[in-house]
Amino acid sequence: MIRSIIKSTGRYLPDRHVPNEYLSELMETSNDWIVQRTGIEARYWVSEGKDFGTSDLAYEASIIALERAGWHPEDLDLIVFATMTPDVNVPGSGAFLQNRLGAKNVPALDIRQQCTGFLHGLEICDAYIRSEKAQKILLVGAEFQSRYLELTTENRDTAVIFADGAGVVCIEGVESNNDIGIITSILHADGKYSGALRVGMPARKSGKAISPTVMENKEHFPYMEGKTVFKLAVTRLPMVTAELLEKANMKIEDVDMVIPHQANLRINEAFKERMNIPKEKIYNNIQRYGNTTAATIPIALDELMEKNMLKSKDTIMFIGLGAGLTWGGVVYKLP
């Protein structure tokens, strides 16, 4: 049977380290508030004035992952690029990355899905591999969010959370009779909450174009009903975990490590308590990186691999929830 295994990982954080104290100089907030309400202590942003795009963040992480896999860019059958902050509106960042890597003629597919972009990416890659349409895939989660944040008191809820970064995995199709690789996945969406977290522009809806009025209304900045999203996260993440465990015929005790999306440390703490997960079996790094949206999970996975905190045959559960509303999870067993 063909299984989809993660052959290697890589991550890249940009050069500008931004502690909470910097933000408290720009708006009415404080290190204490940000740490207590989100867990975030610092994040990385791309330096101002640098000619850099999301695909450049992804490139730096990709060359690490490719080298660790022992793959050349032209070996790839597919690039899947999850981002909600592409270099330009059209074409997708996958095309820019493909060109920079020199992955000649390799198809490059951009996906959105925001905080669950990487989870959707895993499911897509698994489908390509199991249907034998691809054997070697580069899956990217990358975001460049700092440049569209409004650094004012009015938009401080989003300004203090979102950050830049990239995480990449090389996924390979291998023949195995063992239960390894991507075991199962469940993804959901509920468009009823599409207004709870959104970036309104650029858009074509209602014939709108970017104009001074649209800019004045700040439709090009992220808008978030934080409390609504928070409440949805603390209820739906345990629900989808129960669904995943049932589908995989497992108990929570069988999971060796949970890697949740990093949106707010309090969400992940509430999830841990609710599911009765010991603290050493759930990984958080939002303290150092903030919320890098599609990149949070692959960055965390890369850190865990680097720190040798995962071993052969460990079972991992990736879970997340975000704009859309979209949420879901993937169960993965290390080969």
- How is residue 135 annotated by DSSP? S
Check residue 233 for interaction with ligand UT7 (CB under 6 A). yes
- State yes or no: cis peptide before 335, omega within 30 of 0: no
Backbone phi, then psi, for 25, in 5-degree steps? -80, -20
Sites for ligand UT7 among residues 276-315 (CB under 6 A): 291
- The one catalytic residue in 261, 264, 268, 284 is 261
Q: String of b and e for 5-39 (b: at least 16 CB within 10 Å)?
A: bbbbbbbbbbeeebebeebbeeeebebeebeebbb
Closest to ligand UT7 by CB, 124 or 263: 263
Residue 295 C-beta: closest distance to ligand UT7, Å: 11
Indicate whether 226 belongs to the interface with ligand UT7 (CB under 6 A). yes
Q: Pick from 16, 35, 37, 193: which binds ligand UT7 (CB under 6 A)?
A: 37
Question: What is the 3 state secondary structure string of 165-215?
Answer: EEEEEEEEEEECCCCCEEEEEEEEECHHHCCCEEECCCCCHHHCCCCHHHH
For ligand UT7, give the closer residue by CB, 129 or 199: 199
Minimum Å distance from CB 105 to ligand UT7?
Answer: 35
Tell me whether residue 16 or residue 37 sits nearer to ligand UT7 (CB atom): 37
Q: Restricting to residues 48-87, which ones interact with ligand UT7 according to CB under 6 A?
A: none
Which residue in the block uniquely carries the two structure tokens 């207004």?
195
Find residue 4's DSSP bridge partners: 173
Which residue intervals of the chain are DSSP H helices? 20-26, 31-38, 54-69, 93-101, 117-130, 156-159, 212-216, 226-248, 265-275, 286-289, 296-306
Complex with ligand UT7: residue 29 or 93, whichever CB lies closer: 29
Contact track, ligand UT7, 244-283, x by CB under 6 A: -------------------xx--x----------------
For ligand UT7, the binding residues in 103-142 under the rule CB under 6 A are 115
**By the rule CB under 6 A, 196 interacts with ligand UT7:** no
Determine the Cα–Cα distance for residues 118 and 173; give it in Å rounded to an integer: 18
Contacting positions for ligand UT7 (CB under 6 A): 29, 33-34, 37-38, 115, 156-157, 160, 197, 226-227, 229-230, 233, 263-264, 267, 291, 322
Query: Would you please indicate which residues are annotated as catalytic (active-site) residues?
Result: 115, 261, 291
